[in-house]
Structure formats: structure tokens, C-alpha cells
């Protein structure tokens, strides 16, 4: 992992630690101690198990080669072309067409594709998508993306807890506490969105270009992206979390409300234009 990504990971974990310790301190010494124990466990889990958490979140099952020979053939071919170890391959039970990569390093990585993408894409288009995901692994940004998704999910969950506590746990004699809970319910999702924006949208442009160069074909991925954008609108993801949207090659959710203000993916039109302008 590059020094830059090591620094990003450290900053994200430090931010989570500081935020949760601050929240815990609002509930006195006992709250601070509980928060301290929680962040130690969370930091450990984010590094070692964030990929498993995300795969579980999307109900991904490891794809056996006997069941998905075409998919394994493509992944093996691109692993050879990219000079990377063969990642584990997972399938997500969703009709939406999408894919993501996760893991903590080159030797511990995974690529997950939806059932829908295998039904929709031609072989050249699917190669483009898989090459894009290999690029995230090759560029060593899968750890930072996976950890960021896990952290953002935890913070969003905390915000939801504060919201329901404010609604059902307060009374007229404790208005100050209610307002504090409401403030935290508002601010925590914003912090989660800012964490997601720490993953620069430029990484998608880089992965598009790197993936196209790996297979020496940019038009397959350009065509795939156009199909993906249209398919996501007709087959929105019905499970998972907005906090992990940045992991996917295209946002699997329809942006709305606060999420619409913090886009983790660059405009699709620009991505397609850049790919079509590439020459081989």
C-alpha cells in the first residue's frame, strides 16, 4: 500500500476515534470509557474485516468456478494481464448491474459482481468492468475505500440512534438533552458524507483509464458504463448502505436528500467521453 493511502487510512481511523470519543464524553466518564473500548475494537475490525463486512452487507457469495466458468475465465485473464494475484470472486444476488472491489492489499482482495451484470453485459463490456475493478486493486486504493465505507456506516448508524433517542427518549424537562441528540442526529450523517468525499472522485477516472490500458480496449468499458447508468435507474439496489456507494463502479442507489449533495462518483458523461477519447 502506498504511503499516501497509508496516511489516508490513518486519518480516517483517527477521525472516527476522535468523533466517537467526543460523543462518549457527552455522557460522562463512563460514556468516554465505553467509547474508548468501542473505537479500539472498531479500528481493529475496520482494517482486518471491513471487506468481509461489506461483502456480508451485500449478501455476496463466493462464486465457484464450476458455477461461473465465464466469469472466472475473464477474471483469470485480467489477473494475468495486470500481473496481479487472482482475487476471490463473489456474486451479489441482485438484478442491478454493478460491481466493486474490496480488500486490504494485493494478496487479500476480492471482486464482487451482481447477477444482473452478467446477464446484461457482452463479454467485452464485462471485461472492461472487471479490468476497472482490478485497477482499484492495482492502484492500492481498495483498503481506503472499504475502510471509509465501514466507518461511514458506523457514523450513520450512530446518527440514527441519536435521532430515535431524541424522538422517543426525551420529555419536556430535558429539552436541552433532546436538542443535543437532534444536533448529533443531524451532524453525524454529514460527517459520514465528508468521510466518503475523502475518497477522491478522481480515483474513478484513474481506474477507468488503468483498466482500459490493461486490456487495451476503452470502448468496452465506455459501453458498459452507459448500460450501467441506465440499468441502475430501473433496478435500484434494495439492500446495502449508502455509506458504501463509493465502492461500486456506479452508485447503486438513487441519490436523494443529503446524499444527493455529496456525489462520490464523477459524471458518467465525462467518464464515457474520456474513455472514448483514448487511443490504442
> DSSP H helical segments within 58-68, as ranges?
none
Give the whole-angstrom CA distance, residue 124 versus residue 134: 15
> Buried b / exposed e across 39-65, counting CB within 10 Å, b at 16+?
beebbeebeeebbebbbebbebeebee
Query: What end-to-end distance do the CA atoms of the chain give, in Å?
Result: 29
**Catalytic, out of 95, 123, 125, 133:** 133
Alpha-carbon distance 112 to 95, whole Å?
14
Query: Does residue 65 have an active-site annotation?
Result: no
> Could you tell me the three cell numbers for 179?
436538542
- Alpha-carbon dihedral of residues 104, 110, 111, 113, nearest 10 degrees? -120
Quickly count: other Cβ atoms within 10 Å of residue 166's Cβ.
Answer: 18
Distances (CA, A) of 7 to 130, 216, 235, 276: 27, 32, 37, 34
Sheet holding 108-114, edge to edge: 61-62, 88-92, 108-114, 99-105
Given a contact cutoff of 8 angstroms between Cβ atoms, the answer to whether 262 and 199 are in contact is: no
| Grid cell of 113 as nine digits | 459482481
Query: Residues with catalytic annotation?
Result: 133
Amino acid at each position: 500500500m502506498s504511503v499516501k493511502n497509508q496516511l489516508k487510512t490513518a486519518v480516517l481511523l483517527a477521525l472516527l476515534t476522535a468523533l466517537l470519543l467526543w460523543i462518549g464524553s457527552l455522557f460522562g466518564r463512563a460514556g468516554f470509557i465505553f467509547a474508548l473500548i468501542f473505537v479500539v475494537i472498531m479500528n481493529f475490525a475496520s482494517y482486518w474485516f471491513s471487506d468481509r463486512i461489506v461483502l456480508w452487507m451485500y449478501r455476496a457469495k463466493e462464486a465457484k468456478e464450476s458455477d461461473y466458468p465465464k466469469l472466472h475465465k475473464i477474471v483469470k485473464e485480467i489477473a494475468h494481464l495486470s500481473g496481479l494475484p487472482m482475487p476471490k470472486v463473489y456474486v451479489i444476488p441482485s438484478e442491478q448491474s454493478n460491481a466493486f472491489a474490496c480488500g486490504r492489499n494485493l494478496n487479500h482482495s476480492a471482486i464482487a459482481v451482481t447477477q444482473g451484470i452478467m446477464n446484461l453485459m457482452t463479454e467485452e463490456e464485462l471485461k472492461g468492468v472487471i479490468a476497472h475493478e482490478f485497477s482499484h486493486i492495482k492502484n492500492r486504493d481498495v483498503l481506503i475505500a472499504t475502510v471509509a465505507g465501514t466507518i461511514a456506516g458506523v457514523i450513520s448508524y450512530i446518527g440514527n440512534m441519536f435521532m430515535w433517542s431524541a424522538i422517543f427518549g426525551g420529555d419536556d424537562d430535558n429539552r436541552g438533552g433532546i436538542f443535543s441528540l437532534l444536533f448529533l442526529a443531524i451532524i453525524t450523517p454529514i460527517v459520514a458524507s465528508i468521510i466518503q468525499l475523502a475518497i477522491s472522485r478522481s480515483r474513478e477516472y484513474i481506474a477507468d483509464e488503468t483498466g482500459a490500458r490493461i486490456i487495451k480496449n476503452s470502448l468496452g468499458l465506455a459501453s458498459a458504463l452507459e448500460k450501467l447508468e441506465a440499468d441502475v435507474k430501473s433496478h435500484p439496489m434494495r439492500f446495502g448502505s449508502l455509506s458504501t456507494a463509493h465502492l461500486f463502479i456506479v452508485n447503486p442507489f438513487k441519490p436523494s436528500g443529503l446524499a444527493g449533495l455529496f456525489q462520490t462518483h464523477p459524471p458518467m458523461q465525462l467518464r464515457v467521453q474520456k474513455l472514448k477519447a483514448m487511443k490504442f
